[in-house]
Amino acid sequence: MKNRPESDKNPSPEEILEASPDAIITMSQKGEIFSWNRGAEIIFGFAREEALGRSIYDLIIPPDRKKETENAVQAVLEGRPVAYESVRRRKDAS
């Protein structure tokens, strides 16, 4: 079997997530940020290095939206689908 040229290879899931213009963030059950893609950097204004290991609740969740976010996380952990819109906070506080 011949090796395909590099340009013909399919992108890895990590490459797809990194290239997404959407903010894609993974976190622990308690909110510690594990991954932060380029879309999250652009949307929220925090570099990956600034976000990793921090609490999502301290970084981008406004205090008055913490409970709704905790409820959404709990629903996901219970296997229930979640779709909602919310307000988040950028590095510049906007």
Please give the Cα distance from 20 to 38 (Å, whole number): 7
Kindly indicate the confidence band of residue 6, based on its pLDDT and cuts at 50, 70 and 90.
low
- Residue 87, in any domain of the structure: no
- Residue 19, in any domain of the structure: yes
- Residue 91, in any domain of the structure: no
Q: Does the structure show a pLDDT above 70 at 72? A: yes
- Number of domains the chain contains: 1
Cα–Cα distances in Å, from 43 out to 4, 38, 75? 36, 9, 25
- Which structural domain range is residue 29 located in? 13-77
Kindly indicate the confidence band of residue 3, based on its pLDDT and cuts at 50, 70 and 90.
low
Please give the Cα distance from 25 to 44 (Å, whole number): 11
Tell me the per-residue pLDDT of 51-61, one tens digit each, with 9 for 90 and over. Answer: 999 999 999 99
What's the average model confidence in pLDDT over 27-50? 97
pTM of this structure: 0.82
In this structure, what CATH number is given to the domain that contains residue 36?
A: 3.30.450.20
- Residue 36, in any domain of the structure: yes
